[in-house]
């Protein structure tokens, strides 16, 4: 266990529904990242926060996706009007900016299936 938790672990939804995922990082970590991993691929970066500020967003993050980290602790990722192409594993990671490597610790992921 890396100390990063995600909820739910699995989500099955119908096309067009909205879904929200939660990530709880390691408590002292000020950076939080979201990645998406589809079958047979490595994780792809979506967005990241430093404290409560969203500093970077990938072009993969369409208008239907929104992420928040309101108090600089946990984060939520919402997908509106889900599409079948949104089916993937959504990974959260956290890191501390102090130090050289800023090692990212990953959560177990939320597997989304859109029917």
Partner 1 sequence: AQTVTQSQPEMSVQEAETVTLSCTYDTSESDYYLFWYKQPPSRQMILVIRQEAYKQQNATENRFSVNFQKAAKSFSLKISDSQLGDAAMYFCAYRDGGSQGNLIFGKGTKLSVKP
Residues that bind partner 1 (CB under 8 A): 1-2, 4, 31, 33, 35, 40-45, 48, 55-56, 58, 91, 97, 100-109
Between 59 and 71, CB nearer to partner 1: 59
Least CB distance from residue 25 to partner 1, whole Å? 13
- Count CB neighbours of 106 within 10 A: 15
Per-position DSSP letters for 85-97, written without gaps between them = GG-EEEEEEEE-S
**Cross-strand partners of 53:** 50
Least CB distance from residue 102 to partner 1, whole Å? 5
User: Residues with Cβ < 8 Å from 66, sequence gap 6 or more?
Assistant: 77, 78, 80
Least CB distance from residue 24 to partner 1, whole Å? 13
């Amino acid at each position: 266990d890396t100390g990063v938790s995600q909820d739910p672990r699995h989500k099955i939804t119908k096309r067009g529904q909205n879904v929200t995922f939660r990530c709880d990082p390691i408590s002292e970590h000020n950076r939080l990242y979201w990645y998406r991993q589809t079958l047979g691929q490595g994780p792809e970066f979506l967005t990241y926060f430093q404290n409560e500020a969203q500093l970077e967003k990938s072009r993969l993050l369409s208008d239907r996706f929104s992420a928040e980290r309101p108090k600089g602790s946990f984060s939520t990722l919402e997908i509106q009007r889900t599409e079948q192409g949104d089916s993937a594993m959504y990974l959260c990671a956290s890191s501390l900016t102090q130090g050289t490597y800023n090692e990212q610790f990953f959560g177990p992921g939320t597997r989304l299936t859109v029917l």
